[in-house]
């Protein structure tokens, strides 16, 4: 389990449960792995019009029928979105020859109406082979129910929505795989198998670091923070490239209020494995502590895209909403967290 038990044992959990009682009728948000809320795979893509940033010419979704298309919806109103959008663009450019060979048209659609100079600054380092558009009316947001930015929608030659995905460390491989599934070149089972390398036997050193990590997790559940930190440091002495140990160490330092040490460990974890969830959650907490709660919320919402059933994620989002005095939103997240942790306890 990925839960940071030190948080759950705090007084804020008690307050969170009280809020749940007060707002019990609030419906918790239902995140999905498909990043669009008002359409589903198999639906025809709505009729939308986008304007080219370069020359002002327009293109419609209807006019693109006849060839498959990949719409990358992006935004740059905050640094997190800008950074992830640029990463998605760069990863897409890596597989452009593959996409072009299959006649998949790629469109970068700014869905938020960001200023032209902002858009141009984001895409200035690209090759220019992917046209950049803006949705002046921002109609795509409502008609597609865009939930995650950036997000990709794959549409087949008949104009039917086939798949959707958000940004992840394996973005280019996953996009490539989804295209192959769309074109019938590969089954979804084969795609998922290709994305997951086979397990190999761990070395003696790896087993030792794992023992230290597991011991640290037990210490954390018991509230023995200093002992847990000691075990994590022992693991990292053997293997400094252990993302889990770096991430958990960063979270513990954050709990102790040692922000500089927390950031150092969390940055190390991210460099090793950008998708290690506990470290990503704690990194969002750091953003909130440093006075950027809106960016922290956006980060957590992006994480919910693929981790909707993680209670610590919902709980952390609830604590930030609470600090922002968004009590209805906080209650919904606390309630979801409570329901999920209750199910996990029952299962165990």
Between these two residues, 195 and 333, which has the higher pLDDT value? 333
Average pLDDT of the chain? 86
CATH of 5-29+202-347, one of 3.90.180.10, 1.20.120.1630, 1.25.40.10, 3.30.559.10: 1.25.40.10
CA-nearest of 37, 150, 157, 138 to 92 is 150
**Residues 122-163: pLDDT tens digits?**
999 898 899 999 998 889 989 999 988 899 999 999 999 999
The domain limits of the chain are 5-29+202-347, 49-195
**In the predicted model, what is the mean pLDDT of residues 181-188?**
94
Number of other residues whose CB lies within 10 A of the CB of residue 174:
21
* pLDDT (0 to 100) of residue 86: 93
Q: How far is the CA of 99 from the CAs of 10, 63, 145, in angstroms?
A: 50, 19, 26
Task: Confirm if 85 and 74 have CB atoms less than 8 A apart.
Answer: yes
Summarize pLDDT for 270-323 with one digit per residue, the tens: 888 888 899 999 999 999 999 999 989 988 988 887 788 899 999 999 999 999
Give me the mean pLDDT over the 69-88 stretch.
Answer: 90
Ramachandran quadrant class, 207 (left: phi over 0; alpha: psi -120 to 50; beta: rest): alpha
Q: Does domain 49-195 fall into CATH 2.60.40.1510?
A: no
Distance CA 331, CA 324 (A): 12
Backbone angles phi and psi of 193, in degrees to 5: -65, -40
- Asked if residue 219 lies in contact with residue 5, where contact means CB atoms within 8 angstroms, the answer is no
Q: Give the Cα separation of 229 and 250 in Å (integer).
A: 9
pLDDT attached to residue 108: 97
pTM: 0.63
CB proximity list for 151: less than 8 A, separation 6 or greater: 35, 36, 72, 73, 164, 165, 166, 167
Q: Regarding beta strands 69-74 and 151-155, do their DSSP bridges make them parallel or antiparallel, or are they unpaired?
A: antiparallel
Report which of residues 27 and 38 the model is more confident about: 38
Instruction: HSE, CB side, 13 Å, CA atoms: give it for residue 186.
Output: 16
């Amino acid at each position: 389990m990925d839960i940071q038990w030190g948080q759950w044992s705090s007084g804020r959990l008690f307050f969170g449960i009280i809020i749940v009682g007060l707002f019990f009728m609030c419906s918790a948000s239902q995140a999905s792995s498909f990043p669009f809320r008002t359409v589903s795979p198999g639906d025809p893509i709505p009729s939308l019009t986008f304007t080219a940033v370069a020359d002002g010419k327009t293109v419609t979704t209807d006019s693109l029928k006849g060839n498959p298309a990949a719409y990358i919806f992006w935004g740059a109103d905050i640094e997190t979105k800008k950074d992830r959008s640029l990463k998605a663009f760069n990863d897409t450019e890596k597989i452009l020859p593959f996409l072009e060979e299959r006649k998949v048209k790629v469109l970068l659609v700014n869905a938020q109406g960001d200023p032209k100079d902002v858009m141009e600054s984001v895409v200035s380092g690209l090759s220019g082979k992917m046209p950049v558009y803006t949705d002046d009316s921002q109609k795509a947001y409502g008609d597609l129910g865009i939930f995650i930015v950036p997000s990709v929608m794959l549409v087949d030659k008949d104009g039917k929505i086939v798949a959707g995905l958000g940004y992840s460390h394996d973005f280019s491989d996953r996009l490539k795989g989804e295209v192959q599934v769309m074109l019938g070149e590969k089954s979804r089972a084969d795609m998922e198998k290709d994305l997951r390398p086979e397990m190999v036997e761990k070395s003696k050193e790896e087993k030792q670091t794992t023992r230290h990590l597991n011991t640290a997790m037990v210490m954390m559940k018991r509230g023995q923070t200093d002992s847990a930190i000691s075990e994590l440091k022992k693991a990292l002495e053997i293997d400094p490239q252990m993302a889990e140990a770096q991430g958990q160490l960063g979270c513990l330092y954050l709990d102790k209020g040692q922000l500089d040490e927390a950031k150092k460990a969390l940055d190390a974890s991210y460099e090793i494995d950008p998708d290690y969830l506990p470290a990503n959650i704690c990194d969002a907490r750091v953003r909130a502590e440093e006075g950027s709660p809106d960016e922290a919320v956006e980060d957590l919402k992006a994480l919910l895209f693929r981790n909707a059933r993680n209670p610590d994620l919902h709980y952390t989002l609830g604590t930030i909403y609470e600090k922002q005095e968004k009590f209805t939103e906080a209650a919904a997240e606390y309630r979801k967290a409570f329901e999920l942790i209750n199910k996990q306890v029952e299962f165990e």
